[in-house]
Amino acid sequence: MGRRWTSAEVSRTKPLVFLLAAYPLARWIWLGWTGGLGANPPEFLIRSSGLWALVALWLTLAVTPLRRLLGQPALTGLRRMLGLFAFFYTVLHLLGWAWWEQGWSAPAMWNDIMTRTFITVGTLAFLPMVALALTSTHGWMRRMGRRWQDLHRSIYVIAVLSAWHFWLVRAGKNDFAEPYAYGAVLALLLGLRMLAWPPRPR
């Protein structure tokens, strides 16, 4: 195995990773500009932002297995940015729902959250995400110490709830190919942690 990358080297790839992670946003703007969002742009954007939020979340979860498989611990340096992109696309997904589906009406949103399982599950996935995004800074990491890691383990719950939300969305039309694919990748990402690297005594 080759030399270990330094943190500084990994940091230098950040602008590139940022641009790649911003690709969905750039694509929407381009498509919007050229009339390529189809006949129902709100639907397109709500669905697309939801999918990209999942992709970004899965990529965030892929960092740890990847750094272990490659023997490159410095890759952790990319994790926060990916996680924040997952949060960013989730926020857009939510804003799209609030605006285009609920017309900013708080009672309508509340009703949707309370009566529809897939919205309830989606909301439950979003709430801890807010906490993770707020505590993602170095300052909070320092202040919280070991509790920071405990809190940020909730990403596993967020991921499972997100996959469940996606499954519920497609359930009405028996259209499970994509939810199963995303679920399988998630199972792999989580399974690798459990099988290959059992928790070490602290």
Partner 1 sequence: MSMIKPPHIPPSEITSEEIWQSRRRWLRLAGLGAVTVGAGGLGPAIAAAAEAARSPLASTPNPAYRLDDRLTAEKDITSYNNFYEFGTGKTDPMEYAGDMKTRPWTVSVEGEVAKPRVFDIDDLLRLAPMEERIYRLRCVEAWSMVIPWVGYPLSALLREVQPTGNAKYVEFVTALSPDTMPGVRAGILDWPYVEGLRMDEAMHPLSLLVFGLYGKLLPNQDGAPLRVAVPWKYGFKSGKSIVRIRLVEKMPMTSWVKAAANEYGFYANVNPEVPHPRWSQATERRIGDGFFAPRVKTLMFNGYAEQVASLYQGMDLRRYY
- Contacts to partner 1 by CB under 8 A: 27, 30-31, 34-36, 38-43, 100-101, 103, 108, 111-112, 115-116, 118, 168-169, 172-175, 177
To partner 1, the closest distance from the beta carbon of 37 in angstroms equals: 9
Nearer to partner 1, 37 or 141 (CB): 37
8-state DSSP, 154: T
To partner 1, the closest distance from the beta carbon of 128 in angstroms equals: 23
Residue 64's contacts (CB-CB under 8 Å, 6 or more residues apart) are 76, 79, 193
To partner 1, the closest distance from the beta carbon of 94 in angstroms equals: 16
Structure-derived torsion over alpha carbons of residues 67, 145, 89, 11, reported in degrees to the nearest 10: -50
Would you say 62 and 8 are in contact if contact means Cβ atoms under 8 Å apart?
no
Nearer to partner 1, 101 or 192 (CB): 101
To partner 1, the closest distance from the beta carbon of 91 in angstroms equals: 18
Nearer to partner 1, 101 or 128 (CB): 101
Q: Give the position of tokens 């992109």.
A: 85
To partner 1, the closest distance from the beta carbon of 138 in angstroms equals: 36
Nearer to partner 1, 108 or 187 (CB): 108
To partner 1, the closest distance from the beta carbon of 32 in angstroms equals: 8
Structure-derived torsion over alpha carbons of residues 84, 88, 89, 91, reported in degrees to the nearest 10: 130
Q: Tell me the angle at which helices 177-196 and 41-70 cross, rounded to the nearest 10 degrees.
A: 20
Distance CA(15)–CA(124), nearest Å, equals 32
**CB neighbour burial string for 151-160, b if at least 16 within 10 angstroms, e if fewer:** ebeebeebbb
Nearer to partner 1, 30 or 140 (CB): 30
Pairs from 178-184 (Cβ < 8 Å, separation ≥ 24): 182/54, 182/58
Nearer to partner 1, 38 or 201 (CB): 38
